[in-house]
């Protein structure tokens, strides 16, 4: 494993462990569950045993000095061309936030809302200059040989779904 990937995985593990502190009897996903089923931790929240995919804050651009807290980066097709994490087996997605610790939202409700927004714009890419981020526009990394597709979703739209703030 190269140093960059190792560093990324260590940071992800730390965020997953941070979220897991909010659960009773948390169990970390194994490698297959993490990469194929798209969930990171299973545990009890508010009396229910659930699976969570945990997401850290993201930068709009790699060279940005700090992660932003306006939009979530949501992957609907993974780097190998398989369904992305929003179509995975997690019950809930836990987004790290700045204005409060965690925004926890039902994964299927998020996907249903996102799919409708993507269909409304026919899964189109942004017409804006490369340095401007457009909500719900399709982005990819095909230039780098990746098959992923993702979009930026405003947290204010995610907060309109049934959610839990921790």
Domain boundaries, the chain: 3-165
pLDDT in tens, 103-116: 999 999 999 999 99
pLDDT in tens, 24-55: 999 999 999 998 999 999 999 999 999 999 99
pTM: 0.93
Cβ neighbours of residue 106 under 8 Å, at least 6 residues apart?
Answer: 91, 92, 161, 162, 163
Question: How far is Cα 33 from Cα 88, in angstroms, rounded to an integer?
Answer: 10
> Cα separations (Å) of 49 from 12, 70, 77, 114?
22, 30, 27, 25
Question: How far is Cα 91 from Cα 66, in angstroms, rounded to an integer?
Answer: 29
Q: Do 139 and 131 contact (CB within 8 A), yes or no?
A: no
| Structure token pair of residue 44 | 């009890």
Cβ neighbours of residue 152 under 8 Å, at least 6 residues apart?
Answer: 60, 71, 72, 73, 74, 133, 134, 135, 136, 137, 139
Please give the chain's pLDDT, 166 residues, in tens: 577 777 878 888 999 999 999 999 999 999 999 989 999 999 999 999 999 999 999 999 989 999 999 999 999 999 999 999 999 999 999 999 999 999 999 999 999 999 999 999 999 999 888 888 999 999 999 888 999 999 999 999 999 999 999 9
């Amino acid at each position: 494993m190269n140093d960059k990937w190792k560093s990324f995985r260590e940071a992800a593990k730390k965020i997953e462990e941070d979220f897991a502190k909010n659960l009773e009897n948390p169990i970390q996903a194994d490698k297959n569950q993490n990469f194929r089923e798209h969930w990171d931790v299973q545990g009890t929240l508010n009396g229910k045993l659930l699976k969570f995919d945990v997401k850290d804050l993201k930068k709009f651009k790699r060279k940005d000095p700090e992660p932003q807290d306006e939009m979530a980066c949501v992957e609907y097709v993974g780097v190998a061309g398989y369904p992305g994490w929003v179509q995975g087996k997690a019950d809930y997605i836990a987004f790290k936030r700045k204005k409060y610790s965690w925004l926890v939202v039902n994964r299927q409700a998020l996907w249903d809302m996102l799919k409708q927004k993507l269909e409304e714009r026919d899964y189109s890419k942004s017409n804006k200059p490369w340095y401007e981020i457009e909500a719900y526009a399709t982005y990819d990394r095909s230039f780098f040989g990746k098959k992923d597709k993702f979009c930026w979703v405003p947290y204010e739209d995610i907060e309109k779904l049934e959610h839990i703030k921790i």
